[in-house]
Structure 1
Amino acid sequence: MTIGRILYATDFSPASLAAWPYALELARVFKAELVILHVVPPLTAPPEGFFTRDVFSRYWEAAREEAEGELSKLLTQAEREDIKVRSRVDKGRPADQILLAAAEEQAGLVVVGTAGRTGFRRVLLGSVADEVVRLAPCPVLTVGPGGGA
């Protein structure tokens, strides 16, 4: 089995960062390119006319800049380990954007963390990881909050 490209999706939460060592190690073992993805979720719009278009634009720019700062730490770590790596910041619904990026990047594997929700919270809030597992065009590795794959 060969994997040429791994997509690691992160929101920088402890749950998603628990998957980072797995993405790094798999990229090293398979000599795969590692693409780190952060998705900026849409700003929920209040009643029409409440925010100007400028507010949405500033939200996106601020979120992108913050994400790029966090991504630079991960990029540096991967580069120190001689892993071919790059990042992207997309905006939209996280599950949709992860699935789109997996297809666009022709990923051989997607690595995501799971929050570990169960019961009513899982039913109520859903799970990005669940949706990605069901719909991804390639295998998906999910890593629980304790680092268990």
Structure 2
Amino acid sequence: MSDKKIVVAYDGSSDSKKALEMAIELARPLFAKILLVSVYDVSILNLPNASDIIDFNKLDKSLKELSIERAEEGKKYCEEKEIPVHLEILEGNAAPEIINYAKREDAFMIVAGTRGLGGFNRLLLGSTAQALITYSDISVLIAK
């Protein structure tokens, strides 16, 4: 295996599955490792007085468990395809977390879908994909 790493933003959505497929096709001839990243963000629910009706500790745990469950599916798929894979679950705003992780891991590319689970279907490009393209110094491939 080479030391090349491809970060894949994965949330279990159909677009992230397409991104994973594309990353696998790139990884195979390069003998690259896939770094499968799933990001969850509780802060999107931080509304005034929300803590009166929402138990953020339970919500955080639930979102993390859901992220792990979805990402494990992606990891299993990579393993079935005999592609080296590492799974990472991050908390926070998706795009900056993915970019910072890719930098820390010295990845040569980030692959993401056009829209994830949080996206609005009417948008051509989701906010995470747009932010990855705009702010990443690392090459970004958007799977469609």
Tell me the TM-score normalised to structure 2 length: 0.82
Tell me by how many angstroms 1:82 deviates: 2.1
Pairwise CA RMSD: 2.7
Q: Residue 44 of structure 1 corresponds to which residue in structure 2?
A: 45
List structure 1 runs of 4+ shifted beyond 3 angstroms: none
Structure 1 residue 10 and structure 2 residue 18: aligned?
no
Seen in structure 2, the aligned counterparts of structure 1 residues 126 and 13 have a Cα distance that, compared at 3 Å, is: closer
- In structure 2, stretches of 5+ residues that fail to align are none
Which amino acid counterpart does residue 91 of structure 1 have in structure 2? E
Q: Residue 74 of structure 2 corresponds to which residue in structure 1?
A: 74
1:46-86: CA deviations, max 9, x gaps?
A: 224x416x822211211111121222222122112221111
> Residues 106-125 of structure 1 correspond to what in structure 2 (within 5 A)?
106-115=106-115, 121=123
Which of these two proteins has the greater Rg computed from alpha carbons?
1
Seen in structure 2, the aligned counterparts of structure 1 residues 45 and 14 have a Cα distance that, compared at 3 Å, is: same
Corresponding residue SS for 1:106:
coil
In structure 1, C-alpha distance between the alignment counterparts of 2:33 and 2:56, rounded to whole Å: 33
- Tell me if the contact between 1:102 and 1:136 (Cα under 8 Å) persists in the aligned partners: no
Q: Residue 34 of structure 1 corresponds to which residue in structure 2?
A: 34
Question: Percent identity among equivalent residues?
Answer: 25
Which amino acid counterpart does residue 45 of structure 2 have in structure 1? T
1:19-68: CA deviations, max 9, x gaps?
A: 111011111121111110111023421224x416x822211211111121
In structure 1, C-alpha distance between the alignment counterparts of 2:112 and 2:123, rounded to whole Å: 19
Q: Residue 25 of structure 1 corresponds to which residue in structure 2?
A: 25
In structure 2, C-alpha distance between the alignment counterparts of 1:93 and 1:47, rounded to whole Å: 19
Tell me the TM-score normalised to structure 1 length: 0.79
Seen in structure 2, the aligned counterparts of structure 1 residues 55 and 121 have a Cα distance that, compared at 3 Å, is: same
1:83-103: CA deviations, max 9, x gaps?
A: 111111111111111111111
Matched residue count: 138
